[in-house]
């Protein structure tokens, strides 16, 4: 990196500077000391972690680089401007199995056999488990009604802040990116942006009234649980769930 680049704010650095792709590992074939699972997944711990291990349905935030048998980069979070967050079941089999062996903060190198990755040969994966969180698909314990810490607004909308954000709040006309999961009060999930792993983008004056009211109360990075009465939700629209709906939402960005 050029010396003057060290003086630039992070926001002005390129993705390649902030998230450099690691060098090709010298051991494209698993060494003898690698731990081996029953499925043939081999791994070596590069840096131990101290946090919890994810469960099979959990949400994981990961940094990784994946190389093919020829040492060429197949994919890397460095090419996508840093870590990504996905539900563990939505990942490649070898990656999902490997993450369940890791603790938050841990870094490992894996050798993924064709049965768990690609039929063209063994893949080499260097991965860091940044953090883990409960499954975004599992209904919360207080899905039937506003739980402890919820604030009920005059409209009947109830909100509980799960994580504070930082920065400005959107207005009711802002366009935003949001991750969300929605449930009926009996715990049935009816929709989630986590099915694809991509946040939904929309204008706040073009969604259900409960969201138009609730999202402007958040800053980017904030997470909240909403109990939206039917009059602020789909109001009997054909094909949409009736009654009060519950959403876990995360304001990803204001566009």
pLDDT band at residue 16 using 50, 70 and 90 as cut-offs:
very low
> Are 93 and 157 members of one domain?
no
Give the end of a domain, one of 133, 159, 184: 133
Assess whether pLDDT exceeds 50 at residue 237: yes
Has residue 145 been placed in a domain?
A: no
Has residue 146 been placed in a domain?
A: no
How many angstroms separate the CA atoms of 139 and 59, rounded? 14
Has residue 140 been placed in a domain?
A: no
> How many other CB atoms are there within 10 angstroms of residue 160's CB atom?
18
For 160-190, write each residue's pLDDT tens digit.
999 999 999 999 999 999 999 999 999 999 9
Give the end of a domain, one of 79, 107, 133: 133
For 20-61, write each residue's pLDDT tens digit.
788 999 999 999 999 999 999 999 999 999 999 999 999 999
Q: Above pLDDT 70, what percent of the chain?
A: 93
Has residue 224 been placed in a domain?
A: yes
For 80-114, write each residue's pLDDT tens digit.
878 989 999 999 999 999 999 999 999 999 999 99
Note whether 54 and 100 are within 8 A (CB). yes
pLDDT for 18 equals 52
> Are 125 and 204 members of one domain?
no
DSSP lists the bridge partners of residue 249 as 180, 224
> Are 127 and 99 members of one domain?
yes
The domain in which residue 23 lies consists of 3-133
Q: Is 95 helix (H, G, I), strand (E, B) or coil?
A: helix
Question: Which residues are identified as catalytic?
Answer: 180, 190-191, 208, 234, 247
Has residue 139 been placed in a domain?
A: no
pLDDT for 84 equals 87
Quote the number of domains for the chain. Answer: 2
Parallel/antiparallel/unpaired status of strands 73-76 and 84-87: unpaired
> What number of residues does the chain have?
255
Give the CATH number of the domain where residue 214 resides: 3.10.50.40
């Amino acid at each position: 990196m050029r010396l003057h680049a060290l003086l630039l704010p992070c926001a002005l650095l390129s993705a390649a500077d902030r998230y450099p792709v690691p060098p090709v590992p010298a051991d494209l074939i698993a060494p003898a000391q690698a731990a081996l699972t029953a499925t043939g997944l081999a791994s070596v711990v590069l840096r131990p972690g101290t946090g919890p291990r994810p469960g099979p349905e959990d949400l994981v935030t990961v940094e990784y680089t994946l190389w093919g048998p020829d040492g060429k980069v197949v994919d890397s979070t460095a090419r996508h401007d840093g870590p990504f967050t996905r539900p563990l079941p939505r990942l490649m089999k070898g990656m999902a199995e490997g993450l369940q062996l890791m603790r938050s903060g841990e870094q490992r190198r894996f050798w993924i056999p064709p049965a768990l990755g690609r039929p063209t040969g063994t893949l080499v994966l260097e991965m860091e488990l940044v953090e883990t969180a409960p499954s975004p698909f599992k209904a919360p314990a207080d899905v039937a009604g506003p739980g402890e810490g919820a604030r009920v607004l005059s409209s009947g909308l109830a909100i509980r802040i799960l994580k504070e954000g930082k920065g400005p709040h959107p207005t009711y006309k802002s366009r935003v990116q949001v991750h969300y999961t929605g449930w009926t009060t009996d715990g049935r999930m009816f929709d989630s942006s986590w099915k694809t792993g991509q946040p939904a983008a929309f204008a706040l004056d073009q969604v259900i009234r409960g969201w138009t009211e609730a999202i402007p109360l958040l800053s980017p990075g904030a997470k909240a649980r909403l109990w939206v009465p039917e009059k602020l939700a789909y109001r009997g629209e054909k094909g949409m769930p009736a009654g009060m709906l519950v959403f876990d939402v995360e304001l990803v960005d204001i566009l």
